Structure 1
Amino acid sequence: MSTYDFESGDRTETETATGTAFDGESTDRLERAEARAELLAEENRRLRARNARARRSKYRRTALGLVAIGVCAVAGGAAFPDSREILLALGATGLFGGLLTYYLTPGQFVAASVGERVYAAWAANGDSLAAELGLREDRVYVPDERADTARLYVPARAEFEPPTEAEGPLVLERDGRGLLVAPTGATLFEEFRRALSGELANRPEPLAVQLADGLVEQFELADGVDPDVDAANGRVTAAISGSAFGAVDRFDHPIASFLAVGLAAGLDRPVTLEVEAGGERADWLVTCRFEPDETTGENETEAADDSESDGASESDGGEPR
């Protein structure tokens, strides 16, 4: 009996020692993993800081280059009296541009991937909300005269009347029941209008060009935006290449939303949005449809008639009008 107790006790001590060894190994493994995670986090911070410094350095090299050009132009103005006015004007422009570039260099950069993840949450919530309320896939951007932008309306019925005075976010009127929210493109459009050098166009062709330039040059949300305008039929199709925020066919994507909000506000009428894959032409095709002006179709018809008449006159040997 005593032998059995001894063996049992020995076996228990062995198992306890083994368990302690396993616990120690697990603890060491966790500590190594935590240390590795800390090293990776530190490396990530270091890389972000280095990337920010590299971008600031790029801006400052550009500024120094502009200043150098300005100094050379001013010196050339002093050496060549005949071209003094042009060289001095060029020098002043270079110096002024260099100073602005140097002192207005942004101190903080936000990666496009960060912005895309922030938008992804809004897209998922919007899709879930529309599905839960049983709404359609139509996306209509309605002018908002109070803010000179537009709001996003998702209808519940196939035949609907876009709300103009409803507050939202839920519209309970029988003919306009649906969801009415502030779109992502509204604040972008407000910033776009503040930075616009001239007036906002109120015709489809020049307005589409302005909005395309804003997406590429001002906000850098896409590498390329090529608008195709059919004003007579109330359609603007923009070919999008290199979206900074991923797939454009998601709920209220910033690129598509900005185009639709800009057209709705500039033309002062509701705009229906459609997004599809671009195929060989581009990555995505964003199509905005709106009610065309009656005068637009008449003007285009008259222009076509004049063109045909000019061609007929020239072929008959007459003088073109």
Structure 2
Amino acid sequence: MSGNEQLSTTQEKEEPTASDDERSTGDGDDELQLQVELLREENERLRRSYALARRSSYRRSALGLAAVGVLATVGAVLFPTSRDVLLALGGTGLFGAVLTYYLTPERFVAADVGTAVYGAMADTEGAIVDDLGLTDRTVYVPTGASNPEAWLFVPQHAEYEIPDGDALAAPFVVGDEPSERGVSIRPTGSPLVREFDAVRTGDPGDDPAAVVDQFADAVTEQFELAESLNADVSPDERRATVGVTDSAFGGVDRFDHPIPSVLAVGLAGALDAPVVAETTSGDAERADYLVTLRWPETATA
């Protein structure tokens, strides 16, 4: 065998063939795909575990209420002198247990998911406002309809006028006067106010303090959008200041954040007047953010 033939044979033994490279790449893709599938299964398992833990918490609360109801009912039999009170307590406990058990939510959405969805919307709408050179004024205008709807109007000029309802129905508002120009969008607070109105008890009327307090409770208790809200309402000054602590959806000073949006939409509907919302950083010791709501002198309050 000649020297050239020996060199060729040696190179063929040392160099990997194309089929070896393809096999190595294929093995790497298979391993990566397997890891992705394992992560997907683990993520789904964690979601199921989280939902199960939340449902179990509701079910334990229902069992606790049922136990109180049964004990109170038995006590009514054993202690006739306190029968009325114990029967009322027993009925309340059993009724609360039934409601808690059957009204347990079947699906829970993590706060991170809601924050991501809201963040994408806030960034997009905020960018539109900046590109159009509009003011930072956010005015929540009630539609005047029977349902709790409102428009979020962002005027082009600091000295502005509220357009009529038909003009606000279009995203880009071009009124007869320059002071009426701006953009109009559906605020995040409208569907939440609608949900709250469907279950709330008692109508606060057009009293600004009662309205703000009621919607502040809804933000923390029903929607769980914040740890706590503290309201200071001055009807004579037509102003309400609400301190927000531990928001579930991040910075409250972002565009049309659900917390000030709920408060402004609810107050605008109750007063049947536009409400201007402004959010600033608060004192870290008492509140993370301060939401200031203002309404005109012509409001029904």
- Whether the aligned pair in 2 keeps the contact of 1:144 and 1:164 (CA below 8 Å) is no
CA contact (8 A) 1:234 1:289 kept: yes
Equivalent position of 1:318 in the other structure = none
Task: Give the match for residue 7 of structure 1.
Answer: 7
TM-score normalised to structure 1 length: 0.85
Instruction: Rate the CA distance shift 1:86–1:143 in 2: closer, same or farther, 3 A.
Output: same
Distance across 1 between alignment mates of 2:239 and 2:9: 87
Query: Against the structure 1 CA distance between its residues 294 and 92, is the aligned structure 2 distance closer, same or farther, given a 3 Å change threshold?
Result: closer
Tell me how far apart the structure 2 counterparts of residues 294 and 253 of structure 1 sit (CA, whole Å). 24
How far apart are 1:59 and its partner, in Å?
Answer: 1.0
Cα distance in 2 between the residues matched to 1:51 and 1:72: 32
Match of 2:221 in 1: 217
Aligned to 2:182: 178
Whole-Å separation in 1 of the counterparts to 2:164 and 2:263: 20
Q: 1:193: which partner in 2?
A: 197
Map of 2:289 onto structure 1: 284
> Are the aligned partners of 1:143 and 1:164 in contact in 2 as well (CA < 8 Å)?
no
Q: Which moved more, 1:100-109 or 1:72-81?
A: 100-109
- Contact kept, 8 Å, 2:140 with 2:268, in 1: the verdict is yes
Partner of 1:168: 170
Asked if structure 2 preserves the Cα contact closer than 8 Å seen for 1:233 and 1:292, the reply is no
Q: Is 1:154 aligned to 2:158, yes or no? A: no
SS at match of 2:164: coil
- Counterpart CA distance in 1 for 2:299 and 2:107 is 49
CA RMSD, aligned part only?
Answer: 2.2
Tell me which structure has the larger Cα radius of gyration.
Answer: 1
Aligned positions of 1:53-202 closer than 5 A: 53-146=52-145, 147-165=147-165, 166=167, 167-173=169-175, 174-202=178-206
% same residue: 46
**Secondary structure of 2:142's match?**
strand
Q: Which amino acid aligns with 1:252?
A: D
Q: 1:73 to 1:180 in 2, by over 3 A?
A: same
Alpha-carbon offset, residue 22 of structure 1: 5.0
1:10-29 C-alpha deviation (Å, 9 max, x unpaired): 43663344x65555444333
Q: Distance in 2 between matches of 1:244 and 1:80?
A: 48
Q: 2:254 maps to what in 1?
A: 250
Could you say if the C-alpha distance between residues 119 and 78 of structure 1 is closer, same or farther in structure 2, counting changes exceeding 3 Å? same
Q: 1:6 to 1:294 in 2, by over 3 A?
A: closer
Change (3 A) 1:293 1:172: closer
Task: Please list the CA deviations of residues 76-98 of structure 1 after superposition, one character each: whole Å capped at 9, or x if unmatched.
Answer: 11111111111111111111111
Alignment pair present for 1:236 and 2:255:
no
Deviation at 1:295, TM superposition (A): 10
Q: Distance in 1 between matches of 2:300 and 2:15?
A: 92
What is the match of residue 315 of structure 1?
A: none
Counterpart-to-counterpart distance in 2, 1:148 and 1:85: 41
Contact 2:272 2:300 in 1 (8 A): no
Note if contact 2:272-2:299 (Cα within 8 Å) is conserved in structure 1: no
- State the shift of 1:5 in Å: 6.2
In 2, distance between residues paired with 1:20 and 1:14? 14
The alignment partner of 1:175 has SS state of helix
Deviation (angstroms), 1:6: 5.3
Moved more, 26-35 or 228-237: 26-35
Unaligned runs of 5+ in 2: none
Which residue is equivalent to 1:29? Answer: 28
Read off the aligned partner of 1:172 and give its amino acid letter. Answer: V
Contact 1:149–1:264 (8 Å) recurs in 2? no
- Between 68-77 and 166-175, report the one with greater CA deviation: 166-175
SS in structure 1 opposite 2:15? helix
Q: Answer yes or no: is the 8 Å Cα contact 1:162–1:176 preserved in 2.
A: yes
Distance 2:298 2:174 in 1: 30
Provide the C-alpha distance between the structure 2 equivalents of 1:27 and 1:157, rounded to a whole number of angstroms.
Answer: 61
Alignment check: 8 A CA contact 1:73 1:87 kept: yes
1:269 match: secondary structure? coil
